[in-house]
Structure 1
Amino acid sequence: MRNRSGSERGRSPAVHGGTARQRGNGAPRPARGARALRVRRPVGDRPTREAGVATEVSRWLRVAAAYGWRLIVVGAAVYAIFAALGRFQLVTLAVFLALVLTALLEPSVSLLNRWMPRSVAVTVGLLLAIVLVFGVLSLIGANVAGEWEGLRREFVGGVARIERWLQGPPFRVRAGTLSDLQARVSRFVTSHRASLISTALSGVGRLVEVLTVGVLALFCSVFFLHSGDRMWAWFGGQLPGRGRHPVRLAGRAAWVTFTGYTRGIVVVAAINAVLVGVGLFLLGVPLAVPLAVLEFFAAFIPLVGSPVALAVAAVVALAAKGPLVAAVVVLLIVAIGQIEGHVLHPLVMSRAVRLHPVVVALAVICGSVTAGVPGAIVAVPLVSVAWSVYGALRAHPPETARPQGR
């Protein structure tokens, strides 16, 4: 008993020593004190920084601040982009027109490419487009020249009819009011002749800018039609591997939306122009063809262009045919607006443009304030493209996108 207990007592230091060595080699020591009893220090004794922030700032304010500074950064980036584009307004407009020409001519060029080389198909397509544009312009010039003399007589008689109409009830305008107005206009032109001449000369400079933009747009459209897909593939190849697929996805969505909008707005504008031309011709309003062409180009400004062009037609009808025909033209304005808003846009452009009318109106106003008429034309397709890119990237986020580097 004594020996066995002695041996046990003799082995116990070794065992304890082994345990100590194990603890010395990294084994955790047993908890002591408050840790052994699992007693935690009260939170209020030593408040952390996070706890103080959480108690002082509410969650919705922190979320709003997080979104706020991100929106500020995005807004600053968008403003910087538009400021840079504004510095190169002519180049930006030329590239936009080149993209429009590419979207319109690409189907015909692809069709011609089945029977001839790509370069020849591009040349033939552009030549046909140029012939079509100059043919329409020559038709307008011939129409105006042929009706100018009769139009002048009708306008003189129409002004006299308007004077008699305004002198009667309910307006009761004084007989010499319009004559005084004409005299004031003549005196204004005489006294401001120098400024009017300088304005005309600046208009010549504008004409040179327009020709420059047209030539540059035609030059860029040649390369976009010939090798636009290869140019985009080269651009995508310069990006990092992880960013190639999102950029390709965004570019595909943007191009589909832009081509759909461009072709759709051309179809809508052509139908509006045909309806206006036929209506004015049946009513006997002079300059029906030029007014129809004006309606075609005005339809490229949504919600605003068509009413303005038809208002010009109503003024011409009032001066040439009297108040009754002008009232019929006003009714024509309302009818064409309803057809465009409730029939043409839903059928033709619903797949390309999925924007609320309020968004379209705000985009047109902001574009016109920023860059005038070109800004009003560019605003809606730009917003449509941005929204489609956002939808495409949201549906296929970069984390779940398939890498395309292989």
Structure 2
Amino acid sequence: MPERAVRASHDNDGVPRWIRRYGTAAWLFIGIVIVVAMVVFATSRIQVVFISVFLAAVVTSVLYPIVSLLARHMPRALAMIVTLLATFGAVAGILTYVITSVAGQWADLADQFGNGIDTILDFVENGPLPIHFTQAEILDWIDDLVAQGQEYVTANAGDLVGQVLSNAGTVALVFTILALSLFVTVFFLLRGEDMWRWFLNQLPARSREKVDVAAGAGWYTFSGYARGTMIVALADAVLAFILLSVLRVPLSAPLSVLVFIGAFIPLIGAPLAMIIAAVVALAANGILTAVIVTIGIAAIGQIEGHLLQPLVMGRQVSLHPVVVALGVTAGTFLAGLLGAVVAIPLLAVIWAVYSTLHEPDPPITGRLPRTAGRE
């Protein structure tokens, strides 16, 4: 090799440039992994604070446009109070309606559920299946299960008491999270822009514009996801309520609220709500109604995925389904149900910030370079 080529391919210390380049990239990747791991670890240690701030951000993204609209005609503090009171009133009204409907239909549902169990037992005993079980045998199995449960409770009474006390502590923790998130929401709605301006002023002047643009893109994506999910969940609940009411399925209102909650849990929330609604329909009105409920709620899911989400969210949250599945799975393993809920908005925000700060090279058009010269 000519001496000039040797000099061109090595730096002053004799290390080839390709080793230096890929080595630098490897160290950067390791640094990113360490930073992400530290963030996850720190978040797990202050999970209460993270959940409170996340809930406050969700509520703020939904209510901020309403507060800003009312603030044009009244002081912002009054607009914030009116919006929060109206929200609390709506939530309280929905809960009251759900509780009264459950109380009014629970006795009838229990009777229908018992009739459904008798029908299933009769089918198992006298139906066309090749294997038959008598009702006495099934009752004996149930008695055995009850006896085993009693033995387990007796043997593990101390642990169960500890779990009950732990659950009591969990209830107090939930109230703490709600109170803290409400406190943070009030300041986000009232002084959010001033708080963000103060934060920018703490940064070097040369970095403020870039940070403001990146954070704006992230907030635009997060608020679009939160508002869009809220609208989609509400539409799913209304459609489910209409379907269940037409079919005269008991507890239509509570089941619709369950569908509403399930819309916030990607991938698994809607199927779980569908299964529970189908079981109630089976117990109340028979297998035909259960099949119709299953097909109807599945159709609502298709309407959500192919019409409502593209129409409501647009391109604010443009993640590939593979990324959604992997993100939800990873979030579930890291933080359980909480991880499954927050994985998608966090991934969407990260991608929005990256897309804003990243300056991509010209895209590849036509045939890939590695296959262009193989014919």
Bin for the TM-score computed over the shorter chain = 0.7 to 0.9
Question: Per-residue deviation at 1:173?
Answer: 4.2
Q: Which residue identity is paired with 1:111?
A: L
C-alpha deviations, 1:174-223, integer Å up to 9, x for none? 12453234223422442233354543332222111111100100000000
Note the 1:338-349 alignment, pairs <5 A. 338-349=302-313
User: In the alignment, does 2:351 pair up with 1:387?
Assistant: yes
- Of residues 144, 160, 169, the one that matches 1:184 is 144
Q: Which residue number corresponds to residue 170 of structure 1?
A: 129
**Equivalents in 2 of 1:159, 1:320: separation in Å?**
10
Question: Per-residue deviation at 1:118?
Answer: 0.9
User: In the alignment, is the contact (CA less than 8 A) between 1:112 and 1:121 conserved in 2?
Assistant: yes
| Inter-CA distance 383–124: structure 2 relative to 1 (3 Å threshold) | same
| Inter-CA distance 132–181: structure 2 relative to 1 (3 Å threshold) | farther
Q: Which residue number corresponds to residue 105 of structure 1?
A: 63
**Equivalents in 2 of 1:213, 1:344: separation in Å?**
31
Q: Which residue identity is paired with 1:124?
A: V
User: In the alignment, does 2:337 pair up with 1:373?
Assistant: yes
Q: Which has the larger radius of gyration?
A: 1
Question: Per-residue deviation at 1:157?
Answer: 0.7
Q: Which residue number corresponds to residue 307 of structure 1?
A: 271
Q: Which residue number corresponds to residue 79 of structure 1?
A: 37
**Equivalents in 2 of 1:198, 1:289: separation in Å?**
35
**Equivalents in 2 of 1:43, 1:253: separation in Å?**
46
Note the 1:53-202 alignment, pairs <5 A. 53-54=15-16, 59=18, 63-167=21-125, 168-170=127-129, 172-175=131-134, 176-193=136-153, 194=157, 195-202=159-166
**Equivalents in 1 of 2:71, 2:241: separation in Å?**
35
Which range moves more in the overlay, 113-122 or 64-73? 64-73
| Inter-CA distance 316–42: structure 2 relative to 1 (3 Å threshold) | closer
Task: Give the TM-score taking structure 1 as reference length.
Answer: 0.81
Question: Per-residue deviation at 1:114?
Answer: 1.9
SS of residue paired to 1:352: coil
**Equivalents in 1 of 2:166, 2:203: separation in Å?**
44
Q: Which residue number corresponds to residue 295 of structure 1?
A: 259
Q: Which residue identity is paired with 2:100?
A: A
**Equivalents in 2 of 1:270, 1:253: separation in Å?**
26
Specify every segment of 5 or more residues in structure 2 that has no aligned partner in the other structure, as ranges.
361-375
Q: Which residue number corresponds to residue 167 of structure 2?
A: 203
SS of residue paired to 1:192: helix
Q: Which residue number corresponds to residue 284 of structure 2?
A: 320
User: In the alignment, is the contact (CA less than 8 A) between 1:162 and 1:322 conserved in 2?
Assistant: no
Question: Per-residue deviation at 1:84?
Answer: 0.3
Note the 1:210-359 alignment, pairs <5 A. 210-359=174-323
| Inter-CA distance 165–78: structure 2 relative to 1 (3 Å threshold) | same
When the two structures are aligned, how many residues end up with a matched partner?
352
Q: Which residue identity is paired with 2:346?
A: L
Question: Per-residue deviation at 1:64?
Answer: 4.4
Q: Which residue identity is paired with 2:78?
A: V
Q: Which residue number corresponds to residue 371 of structure 2?
A: none
Question: Per-residue deviation at 1:251?
Answer: 1.1
| Inter-CA distance 171–380: structure 2 relative to 1 (3 Å threshold) | farther
SS of residue paired to 2:195: helix
| Inter-CA distance 198–192: structure 2 relative to 1 (3 Å threshold) | farther
Which range moves more in the overlay, 141-150 or 342-351? 342-351
User: In the alignment, is the contact (CA less than 8 A) between 1:105 and 1:125 conserved in 2?
Assistant: yes
| Inter-CA distance 212–171: structure 2 relative to 1 (3 Å threshold) | farther
**Equivalents in 1 of 2:275, 2:54: separation in Å?**
29
| Inter-CA distance 350–304: structure 2 relative to 1 (3 Å threshold) | farther
SS of residue paired to 1:127: helix
Question: Per-residue deviation at 1:48?
Answer: 7.5
Q: Which residue identity is paired with 1:365?
A: T
SS of residue paired to 1:74: helix
Percent of residue pairs identical: 43
User: In the alignment, is the contact (CA less than 8 A) between 1:161 and 1:322 conserved in 2?
Assistant: no
Question: Per-residue deviation at 1:224?
Answer: 0.3
Q: Which residue identity is paired with 2:131?
A: R
SS of residue paired to 2:358: helix
SS of residue paired to 1:228: helix
Q: Which residue identity is paired with 1:191?
A: E
SS of residue paired to 1:142: helix
**Equivalents in 2 of 1:48, 1:251: separation in Å?**
41
User: In the alignment, is the contact (CA less than 8 A) between 2:274 and 2:298 conserved in 1?
Assistant: no
Q: Which residue number corresponds to residue 37 of structure 1?
A: none
**Equivalents in 2 of 1:182, 1:270: separation in Å?**
40
Task: Give the TM-score taking structure 2 as reference length.
Answer: 0.87
Q: Which residue number corresponds to residue 365 of structure 2?
A: none
Question: Per-residue deviation at 1:94?
Answer: 0.3
**Equivalents in 2 of 1:381, 1:317: separation in Å?**
34
Q: Which residue identity is paired with 1:186?
A: V
Q: Which residue number corresponds to residue 399 of structure 1?
A: none
C-alpha deviations, 1:245-277, integer Å up to 9, x for none? 111011111111111000000011011111111
Which range moves more in the overlay, 349-358 or 290-299? 349-358
**Equivalents in 2 of 1:179, 1:320: separation in Å?**
22
Output the aligned Cα RMSD: 2.4
